[in-house]
Chain A
Amino acid sequence: MSQVADPLVATPGSRKGTGRRPVRHDDVAGLGKLRAGFFVAPALALVGLFLVFPAVWTAYLGMTNYKLTGLSAKAPDFVGLKNFTDTLTDPAFHESLKLTLVFVLFSGILGQSLLGFAAAWVLRTTNKVVKSLIEFLVLLAWIIPSSVVSFLWVALLDRGDGTLNAILGTQGTSWLTEYPMQSIILFNIWIGTAFSMLLFSSALASVPPSQMESARMVGANTWQVLRDIVLPHIRGHILTNTLLITLWTFNTFTPYLLTAGGPNHRSEILPVYIYKVAIAGGHLGVGAAISLIMLLINLVIAAVYLRVLRERK
């Protein structure tokens, strides 16, 4: 049985089912580099024109004082790195970054991943009806459009007679203003758990059942089975999941619909901060600069993940 000896595990997705084949022989269909280039070209052309080009332009805007209206809309000045230095020295940005990291850690990395994994793990051995029902509800939360979801959660957490207050008998508790971060963290877990659940349930299906069986036979408890058998097997999935979840959570704007960043900036995560600067304040140049800073932070996080997984190999 495979011991996951693939040297490329650090690259997400290069889990070879068996590892019996060296990488060089991957090109079994005889594509060749040139033809592979043609295969990639249409997607790259689309992405290049409609994604990379605006992104580079945005990077340029980040170095101007461009505004949507007013005098600096007419003739924006090139201000170099001023937007970046201003942002990096702004306490409001620091506060927002801190909130974002907390948000990503608790709602994304811990919340969605752990709950998604736990759901996938538990549902493997659960009664079929219960399993389908839970899976359906979790997926429903994921596929219902966010503009709808925000209303559902406002109704849930409403101060007057929201569902939660009615159940807990805590009428008058304004969850969204008293616990804004906790609220948007739970909210985001609710929306996003489906992805991790799906990914991990496929991952778990790829763990050979015989290995878990034998571990059980010799008396390993669940935790030991997870640690010694399952986790080594699904490391690549964990990386893919954590990376995507982190990026998505970092860039999600949906919590704005719930708390609008308030009260008093207490739930103003970076995408909301950018929205307030760029749209409400009209400072598109500064907004672009903050977007780039976010990109760099994301880059650092991605690099750390890759490194951690490579080292643990």
Chain B
Amino acid sequence: MTTTQTPVSAPGARPDVTSLPRRIRSNRSVMHYVGSVLKALMCALMLAFFALPLLWLATAPFDSAPSLSLAWPEWTLKNFKVLIDNPYALRSLANSIILALGVTVIVLVFGSIASYALSRVRIPGRDTLLYALLLLSSIVTGTAAMVPTFQLMNQLGLIDSQLGVILVMAAGVMPTVIFILKDFMDSVPRSYEESARLAGAGPLRILIDVVVPIARPGLATIAVWAVVQVWGNFLIPYILLRSPDKQPAAVVMYTFYTEGGQPNLALISTFSLLFSVPVVAMYFFVNRKFGFRFHGGIKS
């Protein structure tokens, strides 16, 4: 943002603004100064607030005897060695990636075509349907729907199947995905579609070749959101999967406790770090490649 002193002529100044009292204008430089100080203060506070809790994750994994307090570690990489030797740890990360990818692909494909159609065509009861699904998704992801979900998957023969887990989790996040993506589709300008249609493209082609490229930052953002939801989900994979070599990292995370329920902090902190790395890496990748926004830079 340029400073207020910039001598730019102001075309189309709005009348309600010009009628502001003079006094305010005279206080401007003071206000500007106070504003800068406030801004710096706010940045500092936000840095502190968001960085402080993360410190533990930076030290505990490298400590030979970590506790729940922040201390200068007795540096070691032993914990990583133990985890690499753990028969489930690394494979569980691969499983998490499979589940996350599966869910993301399903919700992106189904979600974008559905939200595009909902955005462009007024299907009767559209908004009611969207809100109803959004509300329903909040109870079904809770513990109460566990038994029905399990029984359903059992009837469908999808117990101990990663596909089953993917379908349930995809259905759980789908309403929110459509809700946000429809917002996004609404903001995609129609003019491109009109030209494409005049050039003879059908709706699906228009969606793939015209709308999706414009909507890419939004799709990327929603993909990251979906991955985050799947990545931390414990209950659904735990009750639906049986074989240990199919379990995702969120489930394996809970194994680092003793018979008496005490956490093994050395392994938990180290695994937490490994557990977070793929998601953070994905964020960097997506951010670099597609940008990371809710609504694209294109304005009609």
Contact = CB atoms under 8 A, between A and B. Distances in A.
A touches B in complex, CB < 8 A: yes
B118 interface: yes
Contacts of B238: none
A39 B51 CA distance: 44
A148 interface: yes
A122 B133 contact: no
B85 interface: no
Contact of A40 (B1, B57, B123, B167): B123
Given A29-B197, A144-B276, A219 B20 contact: yes
A295 B111 contact: no
Interface string A124-144: 111000100110011111111
Given A17-B187, A163-B52, A302-B131, A55 B145 contact: yes
Interface string B245-280: 000001001100000000101001100100110011
A53 B276 contact: no
B87 interface: no
Given A203-B295, A210-B11, A250-B138, A28 B250 contact: no
A71 interface: no
Contact of B142 (A39, A216, A222, A251): A251
Contacts of B254: 147
A170 interface: no
A288 to B, nearest CB: 4
A18 B298 CA distance: 12
Contacts of B120: 26-29, 31, 36
A202 B293 contact: yes
A287 B144 contact: yes
A231 interface: no
B106 A46 contact: yes
B228 A32 contact: no
Interface stretch (A90-98, A100-108, A149-157, A260-268): A149-157
A33 B182 CA distance: 16
Q: Lowest 6 CB-CB distances: which A-B pairs, in order?
A: A13-B183, A219-B25, A50-B171, A39-B117, A57-B148, A145-B232
Interface of A: 1, 11-18, 21, 23, 25-33, 35-37, 39-40, 42-44, 46-47, 49-55, 57-58, 61-62, 66, 68, 115, 118-119, 122, 124-126, 130, 133-134, 137-149, 151-156, 158, 160-164, 166-167, 190, 195, 198-199, 201-203, 205-206, 209-222, 224, 228, 236, 240, 244, 247-248, 250-251, 253, 271, 274-275, 278-279, 284, 287-288, 290-292, 294-295, 298-299, 302
Given A16-B186, A46-B170, A217-B8, 17 more contacts: A17-B189, A42-B114, A43-B114, A49-B152, A50-B170, A50-B171, A58-B140, A61-B148, A68-B147, A122-B43, A134-B47, A138-B46, A143-B283, A199-B294, A202-B294, A221-B24, A247-B135
26 contacts: A25-B190, A26-B190, A28-B190, A29-B207, A30-B197, A39-B113, A39-B114, A50-B168, A51-B137, A57-B151, A134-B46, A137-B50, A138-B46, A147-B234, A151-B269, A155-B53, A155-B56, A155-B68, A160-B69, A162-B70, A202-B294, A215-B17, A217-B13, A221-B28, A275-B143, A292-B139
